[in-house]
Chains A and B, each alone.
Chain A
Amino acid sequence: MSESQRAGRYPLGEGDRARIKTPTGRPLAELTLEALRAGQVGAGDLGIHADTLGEQAAIAEEAGFPQLAANLRRAAELTRIPNDTVLAVYEALRPYRVTYERLLALADELETRYDAIENAALIREAAQAYRESGLI
């Protein structure tokens, strides 16, 4: 698929919704009141699938929003990471929270355990910047 085809598909909500999945992989078409009544839909279905974030990232890139695209690519990686871990990583990135080594270890963990390469790179870069600025 070319980039312009991607942008042409926006908004995804007004195209073929059937191919869009909830975070659990359930087709979006199954997110209905009936399914809700039948108890077939769970909390895990609330959110956005990594593939969709990837698609939105491509749309943003094509439309001239490269930093937003990078953000959405990082977000796609974070869909694989549990809420509490996401909160913990955020906490670790705040000033004076953890050591340089701990940040690097966190980056490694995100990369190896969750395949979160872009986020790991961001954390490594932060560790470097924090060390140079005396924030750790």
Chain B
Amino acid sequence: MRRSKRYALLDERPINQDSFVHEWPEVGLIVSDSPLDPKPGLALRQGRVVEMDGAPREEMDLLDLFIADHALDLAVAPVAMSTPSEAIARMLVDVNAPRAEIIRLAAGCTAAKLVEIVSHLSVLEMMLALAKMRVRRTPSNQAHVTNRKEHPALLAADAAEAALRGFAEVETTVGVARHAPLNALAILVGSQVGRPGVLTQCAVEEGVNLRLGFKGLTSYAETLSVYGTAGAFVDGDDTPWSKAFLASAYASRGVKTRFTSGTGSEALMGHSQGRSMLYLEARCLLVTRGAGSQGVQNGSISCVALPESLPGGVRAILAENLLAAMLNLEVAAGNDALASHSEMRKTAKLMCQFLPGADFVHSGFGAIPRYDNLFGGGCFDTSEYDDYYVIQRDMQVDAGIHPIREEEALAVRERGARILQAVYVQLGLPPITEDEIQAAITANDSRDMPDRDVAEDLAAADLFLRDERTLLDVARALDAAGHAEIAEHLLELARQRALGDYLQPAAIFDEGWHVRSGINDANDYQGPGTGYRLSGERWQRVQAIPQATPPADYLQGQGERPAQRLAELGAAHKGAGAEVLIAVGPAYGRALTETIGGLPHEAVLEALLSGIAEEGLAARIVKVHHTADCAFIGYAGAQLSGSGVAIGLQSRGTTVIHRADLAPLNNLELFPQSPNLTLESYRQIGRNAARYAQGAKVQPVPVRIDNWVRLRLIVKTMLLHRRELEQVEPQRAPTELHFDWEPEV
């Protein structure tokens, strides 16, 4: 086959490294509306579910039984199930339908009913619904902090920086499982140094995870995975009852929990039973609710590439977030695992949660480079901070983080690493050296870190996990090392554990340890002017990207030293003979003294005059006062030129070659990209103008084309033009200028 060069280029695009397949419902490769999905239905007898989504009680599997007995509000179920799904869908996007009423109805809906409701919604409608239905009014964000060397100083520095950037939760995990207690310790200390009140977790095997929680080294757990079929659940070595018990076990020690589920996991495990991914996710969410978890991490999570390989995949992922919110569950909305090779696709998907806001927009934004992300790479990472901040600023959206300056980052990293070093000394852990601290301050990733004696670290970690030391011993160590302030933060964490306020739905802390949850910061969105609005101090903080400058800086130096060799004479007259007239704008050499490209006005005149002189012609200079427009400046000059040819020159450097017989907006040559013009360009413009004046054949001046220049310099262009406009005197006729200069010929 012949190859189209365009198709060949498309083949090379990152998007075409993603996988795309047709639906195959029998194996679970379908995101919604599988022919094998059951139809909604619920039958009650004597206050008990006897049939649900087509399954009579005696045919119910493990999940059905749990859902039937724990997840449904049977008082509202008859009303909810008999309300048309489309009516509930319409309520979701109706700002006049209260959130509480939808929550009440959703509590009585079966999995099939829930899916049927959201099937009526477009992506746009789901986004509005998510903004309305999420539990917490204030959106927030969660960070991943890991590294391949499992280096404690780097973990502490990265956790401190992540906390300072505003992440409300920071999670780590392990490469080698035995590192868990020390990794948990590093991000615990680091995060409290960065910003008190950040919650942390270390995702490891459930038994170890519980121990870490019991010891106070972690404050939350989101390792509790649930699945939408009994087969997948059992393969995951759990049941809804064991997970429910586990949730209570964590809560009994004051640890916040969040379950994990997501479209695609059952299909990936070979247990889809031909059901659609979204239907199975609805079952996961009902198990989550039934087990009494305050929330869920969903949005496909680590399986994201599977729904994304299918039609409607990204829509289904948004739908699962929405279903969780409808069930009054806190949602950590995914956007964590690698989702696409394409930056455009990745960002488009992100917008589904970023724009509506979620309790956590990411259930793990890589606050480390992708290289070091032990959660399978990470969809977003530190190299994308600036893009992220700019998009927040563009959209006036709070996705939970804010920019910090480089010096702030360096300072907090040093503090995090040094304070962990001191804790290590106090706790008798293998020392962290000064070299390691220095490396951690400026490191990009763990390749910038010295190697540690891993065997020694692991032995210390084993002991630390086994022995009786807790968060309180870490606080004591901090205090003994002279860091009473950080010790106090850890103690407050211990006190908050005793208070249990953060066990309530969607709870986070602000930097003053004020809890914000679905109880005291309940989402009250009811249309324009309500709900969370990014405004005031927070908006100032979100928009304060270090790259933004005071616009007046662009005018620095302009007009400070007016052109000394340029003197204004009287009224300009019409010339005669073979001359070229140079007409400059009203600010030229006075209010403005340089072109946008930084060329001094006098040097530009020299270049133009040199070019004209090289062709043996005389020149005159006039200043046009009545307009700042390049074409009209040139046109006015042409009317005064003896030859009829004039060069029109705006003060910012935009240039035209005009002739008296042409319409004002026509021209002989136009040079609109003034930043690309050099003195050599101006000299050639002078030569060409002279050749036009002589009636010679003229080759247009070659100019460099760089269309990005408009993007880079648009503010400066606007400000320079504005200053020129300020000098316009509409009634004043052009005046003659004297320029003290002789051509070198």
Q: Are B472 and A36 in contact (CB under 8 A)?
A: yes
**Per-residue A-contact encoding for B491-506, CB less than 8 Å = 1, 0 else:** 1001111111101110
- Per the bound structure, the CA–CA distance linking A79 and B65 in Å amounts to 28
Q: Are B242 and A47 in contact (CB under 8 A)?
A: no
Q: Tell whether B251 is near chain A: CB-to-CB under 8 Å.
A: yes
Within the complex, the shortest CB–CB distance from B436 to chain A, in Å, comes to 28
Q: Contacts A48-B254, A94-B239, A95-B237 hold; do A31 and B494 have CB atoms under 8 A apart? A: yes
Within the complex, the shortest CB–CB distance from B288 to chain A, in Å, comes to 9
Q: Are B498 and A48 in contact (CB under 8 A)?
A: yes
Looking at the complex, which one of A66, A69, A126 makes contact with B241 (CB distance below 8 Å)? A126
- Per the bound structure, the CA–CA distance linking A32 and B294 in Å amounts to 30
Q: Tell whether B178 is near chain A: CB-to-CB under 8 Å.
A: no
Within the complex, the shortest CB–CB distance from B463 to chain A, in Å, comes to 16
Looking at the complex, which one of B65, B73, B239, B501 makes contact with A11 (CB distance below 8 Å)? B501
Q: Tell whether B434 is near chain A: CB-to-CB under 8 Å.
A: no
**Per-residue A-contact encoding for B239-276, CB less than 8 Å = 1, 0 else:** 10110111111111110000000000000000000000
- Per the bound structure, the CA–CA distance linking A111 and B596 in Å amounts to 82
Q: Are B245 and A59 in contact (CB under 8 A)?
A: no
Looking at the complex, which one of B230, B471, B499 makes contact with A13 (CB distance below 8 Å)? B499
Q: Please give me the residue from chain A that is nearest to B473 by CB atom.
A: A43
Q: Are A28 and B495 in contact (CB under 8 A)?
A: yes
Q: Are A10 and B504 in contact (CB under 8 A)?
A: yes
Q: Tell whether B484 is near chain A: CB-to-CB under 8 Å.
A: yes
Q: Which residues of A contact B245 (CB under 8 A)?
A: 74, 89-90, 93, 119, 122-123
Q: Are A48 and B514 in contact (CB under 8 A)?
A: no
Q: Contacts A75-B251, A129-B241 hold; do A31 and B498 have CB atoms under 8 A apart? A: yes
Q: Please give me the residue from chain A that is nearest to B69 by CB atom.
A: A125
Majority secondary structure of chain A interface residues (helix, strand, loop or mixed): helix
Q: Tell whether B387 is near chain A: CB-to-CB under 8 Å.
A: no
Q: Tell whether A71 is near chain B: CB-to-CB under 8 Å.
A: yes
Q: Tell whether B476 is near chain A: CB-to-CB under 8 Å.
A: yes
Within the complex, the shortest CB–CB distance from B516 to chain A, in Å, comes to 9
Looking at the complex, which one of A59, A123, A133 makes contact with B62 (CB distance below 8 Å)? A133
Q: Tell whether A104 is near chain B: CB-to-CB under 8 Å.
A: no
Q: Are A83 and B214 in contact (CB under 8 A)?
A: yes
Within the complex, the shortest CB–CB distance from A53 to chain B, in Å, comes to 6
Within the complex, the shortest CB–CB distance from B126 to chain A, in Å, comes to 23
B contact residues, range: 35 or more
Q: Are A133 and B515 in contact (CB under 8 A)?
A: no
Q: Contacts A36-B479, A86-B252 hold; do A72 and B503 have CB atoms under 8 A apart? A: yes
Q: Are B487 and A33 in contact (CB under 8 A)?
A: yes
Q: Are A21 and B498 in contact (CB under 8 A)?
A: yes
Q: Are A7 and B519 in contact (CB under 8 A)?
A: yes
Q: Which residues of A contact B491 (CB under 8 A)?
A: 31-33, 36
Q: Which of B242, B487, B488 has the most CB of A within 10 A?
A: B242
CB under 8 Å from chain B, chain A span 74-100:
74-79, 81, 83, 86-87, 89-91, 93-95
Q: Which residues of B contact A31 (CB under 8 A)?
A: 491, 494-495, 498
Looking at the complex, which one of A7, A12, A81 makes contact with B501 (CB distance below 8 Å)? A12
Q: Are B292 and A72 in contact (CB under 8 A)?
A: yes
Q: Are B62 and A43 in contact (CB under 8 A)?
A: no
Q: Tell whether B622 is near chain A: CB-to-CB under 8 Å.
A: no
Q: Please give me the residue from chain B that is nearest to A95 by CB atom.
A: B234
Within the complex, the shortest CB–CB distance from A82 to chain B, in Å, comes to 10
Within the complex, the shortest CB–CB distance from A107 to chain B, in Å, comes to 11
**Per-residue A-contact encoding for B26-65, CB less than 8 Å = 1, 0 else:** 0000000000000000000000000000000000011001
Q: Are B251 and A72 in contact (CB under 8 A)?
A: yes
Q: Tell whether A105 is near chain B: CB-to-CB under 8 Å.
A: no
Q: Which residues of A contact B216 (CB under 8 A)?
A: 46
Q: Tell whether A37 is near chain B: CB-to-CB under 8 Å.
A: yes
- Per the bound structure, the CA–CA distance linking A83 and B249 in Å amounts to 9
Within the complex, the shortest CB–CB distance from B306 to chain A, in Å, comes to 25
Q: Are B241 and A93 in contact (CB under 8 A)?
A: yes
CB under 8 Å from chain A, chain B span 287-311:
289-294
**Per-residue A-contact encoding for B219-239, CB less than 8 Å = 1, 0 else:** 000000000001000100111
Q: Which of A47, A60, A66, A74 has the most CB of B within 10 A?
A: A47
Q: Tell whether B468 is near chain A: CB-to-CB under 8 Å.
A: yes
Q: Please give me the residue from chain B that is nearest to A48 by CB atom.
A: B254
Q: Would you mind naming 18 contact pairs between A and B with Cβ atoms under 8 Å apart?
A: A11-B514, A12-B499, A13-B513, A37-B479, A67-B71, A67-B292, A71-B244, A71-B293, A74-B248, A78-B251, A91-B207, A93-B241, A94-B242, A95-B238, A125-B241, A126-B241, A129-B66, A135-B62
User: A11-B499, A72-B251 provided; 9 other pairs, C-beta below 8 A?
Assistant: A31-B495, A48-B253, A63-B519, A71-B291, A78-B249, A90-B245, A94-B239, A129-B62, A130-B241
